[in-house]
Structure 1
Amino acid sequence: MLFTTALRNVQLRPMGLRLCRASIAPRFVSPRSPSQILCRRLASTTPTKPVANGLKAAPERKYMYPERLCIYHAGTGRVTFLACLKLSTIFVFAFFGFVVTPTYIEKTGWGDTTLRTGSTAMAAAVGPLLIVGYLTSPFVSFMHLRLPPFARVSEEALRSFVKRLPAQAQTTELDITTMSAIAKPRVSKVKLSELRPANQRLGIVNYVRDTTAENATRKWYNFRAVGKFNVQHNMSPRVRGIWEEIAAMITKQAA
């Protein structure tokens, strides 16, 4: 009797039923926006530095300048013109040496006139190639200065490092880029203390270095090390005045 009376007094309301179902149902994470989901995925995939002895890893230091700083640039126009000139002489050599001269000899046959004309054609093929190669091989396209970490932080640190270069000339390196006979870049690693001012090849070569020791370590079939350089007006847009200070230091040390 008491049980049936209690059942009659119980009223199942919809609100109470929903609350009961909510308390029983499992809880789900509230939906996130697409930007929040993307940021969460990126944060989970970003590599972190290992923690040693329970200490947090220090954040990476941002540098203002790269490890190889371009302090000299000959200019895009000069480099492009010189590369086209070198390639043009190669095409002229191939045309006169392997097309014109053999065809002429085949048609006229061997004789005094043929030898004179053929030698003239070969001179027209070989002459420009040798002259352009001799005069343009010292041309410097780029020059990069290798910087220590403390000199890459700011411009003030870079200027301070350049002022102390006379005392660090034995360890400071320059990457000097020239062009080969086929206009391919050639990078020469040169110690700052090795460079000397000069006046050779009718004033074309204005800096030299001794390559005897470096050539002794190379095989006979390797190209010889570049020891003569032609440095012209600086067109580097990144940092101005660095190469000029280094050039003044080289001239002062050689005096």
Structure 2
Amino acid sequence: MTLMLTILVFPERLLIYNAGTIKTAYISITKIACFAVFAGSCILLAPIYYYDPASPAWVPAAVICIGAAPMLVTAYATAPFVNSAFLFIPQYARKSGDILMRYAKNLPPDARLELVTIRFAGYPQKTTGTMLSELRPYKRRFGIANVERVPWEKDGQAAAGWRRWTRWLDEPRNKFYVTNDKDVMKRSKVPGIWNHVMDAIKRNG
């Protein structure tokens, strides 16, 4: 009796897209800096004007609002930025690069993906699991996002009570910003796969 071992060349969760350390660090630092400005406005500046007898009553509130504006704009504009993306590969397609590429060229609708974005405070990262069939091209608005997730069932539909009111803490993502640049694919063992994923997303649209 001969024991045959299947050698798998690629991992099940394969990195197919990475925006790079510099871009990610820039966005993270920008978010943290804007949050620091807001915190300084609330903790330092607003109390100074509040306890100043010569200061109008509306000034502390205005200071807080002005300090919050950069934080809110930055959080909204950078939320869709995808740091990295992973594709879950079935076992048969992990045996060789040729088989993997044939699979990538004909991705099934239920192919599983993970899109990693940056949270509101810059860290840690937010991971969104999705199927390929749920992703659609999204018409850009101010250059913020170009891919939309349309799940078959709305996330949190079954949530009830306090969970419904605290779900915003999870920072759910349904809009994403990705590119087809070569730089975002060169960190993958199989750089061309992301192009096939994007082609499939365009066909969904």
Is 1:206 matched with 2:146? yes
For the pair shown, which has the larger CA radius of gyration, 1 or 2? Answer: 1
Distance in structure 1 (CA, Å) of the matches to 2:204 and 2:150: 16
Q: Identical aligned pairs, as a percentage?
A: 26
Compute the displacement of 1:172 (Å): 0.7
Compute the displacement of 1:131 (Å): 0.4
Match of residue 245, structure 1, among 192, 196, 205: 196
1:21: which partner in 2? none
1:136: which partner in 2? 78
Distance in structure 1 (CA, Å) of the matches to 2:94 and 2:74: 39
Compute the displacement of 1:210 (Å): 2.1
Compute the displacement of 1:224 (Å): 5.2
1:158: which partner in 2? 100
Match of residue 178, structure 2, among 231, 235, 239: 231
Q: What's the secondary structure of 1:176's corresponding residue?
A: strand
- Aligned amino acid, residue 71 of structure 2: L
Compute the displacement of 1:89 (Å): 1.2
Distance in structure 2 (CA, Å) of the matches to 1:253 and 1:180: 27
- Aligned amino acid, residue 156 of structure 2: N
Q: Structure 1: 5+ residue runs without aligned partners?
A: 1-54
The CA RMSD over aligned residues, in Å, is 1.9
Q: What's the secondary structure of 2:156's corresponding residue?
A: helix
Q: What's the secondary structure of 1:199's corresponding residue?
A: coil
TM-score, normalised with respect to structure 1: 0.70
- Aligned amino acid, residue 120 of structure 2: A
Distance in structure 1 (CA, Å) of the matches to 2:25 and 2:171: 24
Distance in structure 2 (CA, Å) of the matches to 1:114 and 1:70: 55
Compute the displacement of 1:123 (Å): 2.4
2:120: which partner in 1? 181
- Give deviations 1:2-46, integer Å, cap 9, x for gaps: xxxxxxxxxxxxxxxxxxxxxxxxxxxxxxxxxxxxxxxxxxxxx
1:215/1:224 contact within 8 Å kept? no
1:215/1:225 contact within 8 Å kept? no
Higher helix fraction: Structure 1 or Structure 2? 1
- Aligned amino acid, residue 143 of structure 1: A
Distance in structure 1 (CA, Å) of the matches to 2:76 and 2:40: 21
Compute the displacement of 1:92 (Å): 1.0
TM-score, normalised with respect to structure 2: 0.86
Distance in structure 2 (CA, Å) of the matches to 1:193 and 1:210: 9
Is 1:94 matched with 2:34? no
Compute the displacement of 1:191 (Å): 0.6
1:120: which partner in 2? 62
Distance in structure 1 (CA, Å) of the matches to 2:44 and 2:31: 20
Compute the displacement of 1:245 (Å): 1.5
Counterparts of 1:69-108 in structure 2 under 5 Å? 69-106=14-51, 108=52
Q: How many residues align?
A: 193
Distance in structure 1 (CA, Å) of the matches to 2:144 and 2:21: 19
Q: Structure 2: 5+ residue runs without aligned partners?
A: none
Is 1:216 matched with 2:157? yes
